[in-house]
Amino acid sequence: MSEPSLFPRDVVEQGPVSVVTGGSGFLGSHLTDRLLKEGHSVIAVDNLVTGNTRNIGHLAGNARYRFVKHDVSQHIFLPGKVDYVWHFASPASPIDYLELPIPTLKVGALGTHNSLGLAKAKGAKYLLASTSECYGDPLIHPQREDYWGNVNPIGPRGCYDEAKRFAEAMTMAYHRYHKMDTKIVRIFNTYGPRMRLRDGRVVPAFIGQALTGRPLTVFGDGRQTRSFCYVSDLIDGIFRLSQSNFHEPVNVGNPHEMTILEFGQHVQRITETKSEIEFRALPQDDPKVRQPDISRAKALLGWEPKVPFAEGIVDTIEYFRGQEDQLAAFAQAER
């Protein structure tokens, strides 16, 4: 008798099976779409604490897709073959991990352990979604992968940064000790459709404020920098990394750097809003600069971002314009 599976046998025989933790989140859902296009079957595992089923509604009824509501900080049991595990589950915006510090630490630590355990049991390849937060408030600019970072372990961002650093250490231990095929991507600021309007990150925050006539809340003097990557570029870099033979961390992001104040001015101009900029206190340990050095990704994966900021941001604004219920809730909450 063949092993039970979430998919009919003909589906499993057609191509690889991927498990995506955090599969209903912003990145997890875009990754799922890409994997389905590549011929994978996908099992999304998500506890919906920050993810949202609106991101996966278009997949309902797809024979190569299954959704399992589960917290991956608990043991993950899945029947049948698994070829790839992609660990994308985690609160990922500063206000989310400030509100959920313990689940954030648990999913980075226990969730990574459980998802690595699943990959090991199934003989699957593994890819960890890590982060530029591993570099903390960086003293090296732009950030290269061989920089060990400047993280405050006990500050408000420590729960996320240290969980991801632990996750990287755990992934490398499984690679070295268990000889598993693992990959680590360090993801820099990414934007695009399916971000949650109220997740507090600067892209949805400014767009939501501009579209609802609220002031754009620039933290500090707005001279801190970020470099924004459009989601399709990011997913392409990650997919290429999964097909490589490289096991150490690889930065994937867009080196196009700007200040937060400049970013706010772009949003003002493109949305033609009357919203003014309003300055607010800078959160503790907010990194002053951030820009990926992508030499490794370029050399190793032949990858670099293609979508110019001017195009990506217009698409993202258009997406949010269409999210009337989210905009109404945003306007209500900002009052």
**Residue 308 phi, psi dihedral angles, 5° rounding:** -65, 150
Identify which range of 57-65, 70-78, 81-89, 194-202 contacts ligand UDP by CB under 6 A: 194-202
**Measured from the CB atom, is 202 or 231 closer to ligand UDP?**
202
Q: How far is the CB of 84 from ligand UDP (least distance, A)?
A: 27
Among 114, 130, 189, 242, binds ligand UDP (CB under 6 A): 189
Instruction: Find the binding residues for ligand UDP in span 243-272 (CB under 6 A).
Output: 260
Contact between 28 and ligand UDP by CB under 6 A: the answer reads no
Residue 180's nearest CA partner among 85, 76, 111, 74 is 85
Least distance (Å) from ligand UDP to the CB of residue 101? 15
Residue 154: burial class (beta carbons within 10 Å; 0-12, 13-18, 19+): exposed
E-strand ranges in 72-209 read 84-87, 125-131, 182-187, 190-191
User: In this structure, are residues 23 and 59 in contact, taking their beta carbons and an 8 Å threshold?
Assistant: no
Helix (H) or strand (E) holding 236: helix 231-242
Q: What are the Cα distances from residue 237, in Å, to 34, 38, 251, 281?
A: 11, 14, 9, 35
d(CA 182, CA 249): 10
65 catalytic, yes or no?
A: no
Nearer to ligand UDP, 91 or 237 (CB): 91
Q: Which is nearer to ligand UDP, 249 or 287 (CB)?
A: 287
Cβ-based nearer residue to ligand UDP, 133 or 233: 133
Residue closer to ligand UDP by CB (options 80, 283) is 283
Active-site residue, selected from the candidate residues 84, 160, 174, 191:
160
β partners of residue 187: 131, 252
Q: Tell me the two tokens of residue 270.
A: 């493109």
Give the nearer residue to ligand UDP in terms of CB position, either 134 or 218: 218
E strand segments, the chain: 17-21, 41-46, 65-69, 84-87, 125-131, 182-187, 190-191, 216-219, 225-227, 229-230, 249-252, 257-259, 277-280
Task: Report if residue 226 touches ligand UDP, rule: CB under 6 A.
Answer: yes
- Of 166 and 279, which CB lies nearer to ligand UDP in the complex structure? 279
Pick from 217, 259, 265, 326: which binds ligand UDP (CB under 6 A)?
217
Look-up: residue for tokens 């509604």?
Answer: 57
What x-and-dash track marks residues 196-215 binding ligand UDP by CB under 6 A? Answer: ----xxx--x----------
d(C-alpha 270, C-alpha 266), whole Å: 6
Q: Helix, strand, or coil here: 213?
A: coil
CA dihedral sign of residues 117, 119, 123, 125: negative
Size of the site for ligand UDP (CB under 6 A): 15
Please state the closest distance from residue 218 (CB atom) to ligand UDP, in A: 5
Chosen residue from 16, 101, 215, 283 binding ligand UDP by CB under 6 A: 283
224 part of the interface to ligand UDP, by CB under 6 A = yes
Give, as ranges, the residues between 89 and 128 that touch ligand UDP (CB under 6 A).
Answer: 93-94
Q: Write out the residues near ligand UDP by the rule CB under 6 A.
A: 93-94, 189, 200-202, 205, 217-219, 224, 226, 260, 283, 286
Catalytic residue ranges: 160
